[in-house]
Chain A
Amino acid sequence: MVLAMVVCANIGDLLLKLGMTQIGAVEFTAPGLAHAFRETVTSGTIWLGILFLLGFMVSYMTVLSWADYSFVMPAGAFGYAVLTLLAVIFLHERVSPGRWVGVILICVGVLLVGQTRPRTTEAALQSKVTA
């Protein structure tokens, strides 16, 4: 579920970025903004991006209904590491040594947090009874 959360957030962001690049730079005037609004509302890429971000929100809420916030939050940072790897593999970007050190720190940090108990507070009594 945490994996779904990270994947959805990243794909959603990438699609939004892709969609907005297709539309081009927005002019900060009333007609410019109105034009940009029409373009974004009719763009399939933007809607797909929003759908993925909604998927992120639902998985995030579901995870938080049983796991600690201090457990889920660092795991979300795993996305930065995934994004760097994707940039290297698919976009053939050059990554500076400092950035690689950052990716390694994130991975070690997420692994450390992942070893701890996901839930340290008491379960709500009403959970799993209804529905």
Chain B
Amino acid sequence: MKLIIAVIKPFKLDEVREALTTVGVQGMTVSEVKGFGRQKGQTEIYRGAEYTTNMVPKLKLEIVVDDAVAAQVIETIQQTAHTGSIGDGKIFTLEVTGAVRIRTGETNETAL
């Protein structure tokens, strides 16, 4: 099993989710996060006071999938979350050593 962590632009969520559903992904966890990379933050001005926010809001998706489909899921995210401009995000892959479905006690691939 693989844990795929994708950090994407917030407005791309629906598109990514739809595309992932068509390739068979049955669930994911989404968090609102902030961070920085190459994309610069925004300058906010309140009357005289200027603040540069160097943290940019993003969404973090966490998806655990069978090894067999991992490559396809990663490719799907890369293609649908893509806009071509700086700040599109990143995708990381980790090994997962175990999974349990709490309701039934099923483990590993059957729990996904």
A and B: partners?
no
Chain B residues within CB distance 8 Å of chain A: none
